[in-house]
């Protein structure tokens, strides 16, 4: 005989809030990528945008799952609807992993994104993974293992810009009553 488990209203509310928060964070990443971006004149194109900063913020403030989903969904949708559809699969993988790594490190050792040192380490540690995924994806797309090297400087700049925005902003947000009560 199969046992049916019903969720309590509190469990349903928590799952609903998680879904809503993930959707909002994904939308913030998308908007940050769409409205403030600069096309780079190097490599195979590429953009500098604030989406990476938004991904870092989502992962540091809300953890690995929400950071991963916000990055993958937000930047994946940008590629799909922004004319970069060939990049969408690579972006979804790269940004999912980047958001997950940032959140996992920022939330390690019982921390909840409240250690500036861990947050910086998290953003720095996630960057080589993002670079590797984009490098491999681009090498496969263009059937060329040398040309993707030209995109690395732009991707590095994007991560540095994201860190310069996210780390101080997260430090400030962590001091607000909303996050102080959560820690």
Q: List the CATH number of the domain containing 43.
A: 1.10.1760.20
Q: Is residue 124 in some structural domain?
A: yes
Q: Is residue 18 part of a domain?
A: yes
What is the value of pTM for the model shown?
A: 0.91
What is the number of domains present in the chain? 1
CA 1 to chain centre: 44
pLDDT at 3 over 70: no
Place of tokens 């969904």: 73
H helices present in the chain, as ranges: 9-35, 51-62, 64-81, 88-106, 116-142, 152-173, 177-180
Question: To the nearest whole number, what is the mean pLDDT of the chain?
Answer: 92
Predicted pLDDT at 11: 84
**Residue 114 structural domain:** 9-175
């Amino acid at each position: 005989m199969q046992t049916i488990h019903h969720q309590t209203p509190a469990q349903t509310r928590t799952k609903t809030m998680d879904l809503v928060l993930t959707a909002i964070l994904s939308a913030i990443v998308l908007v940050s990528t769409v409205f403030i971006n600069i096309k780079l004149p190097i490599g195979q194109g590429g953009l500098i945008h604030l989406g990476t900063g938004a991904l870092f913020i989502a992962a540091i403030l809300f953890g690995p799952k929400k950071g991963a989903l916000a990055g993958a969904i937000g930047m994946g949708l940008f590629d799909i609807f922004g004319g970069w559809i060939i990049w969408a699969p690579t972006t979804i993988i790269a940004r999912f992993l980047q958001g997950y790594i940032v959140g996992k490190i920022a939330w390690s050792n019982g921390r909840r994104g409240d250690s500036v040192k861990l947050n910086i380490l998290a953003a720095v540690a996630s960057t080589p993974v993002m670079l590797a995924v984009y490098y491999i994806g681009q090498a496969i797309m263009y059937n060329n293992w040398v040309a993707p090297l030209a995109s690395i400087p732009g991707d590095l700049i994007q991560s540095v810009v994201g860190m310069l925005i996210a780390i101080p902003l997260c430090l400030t947000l962590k001091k607000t009553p909303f996050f102080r009560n959560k820690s």
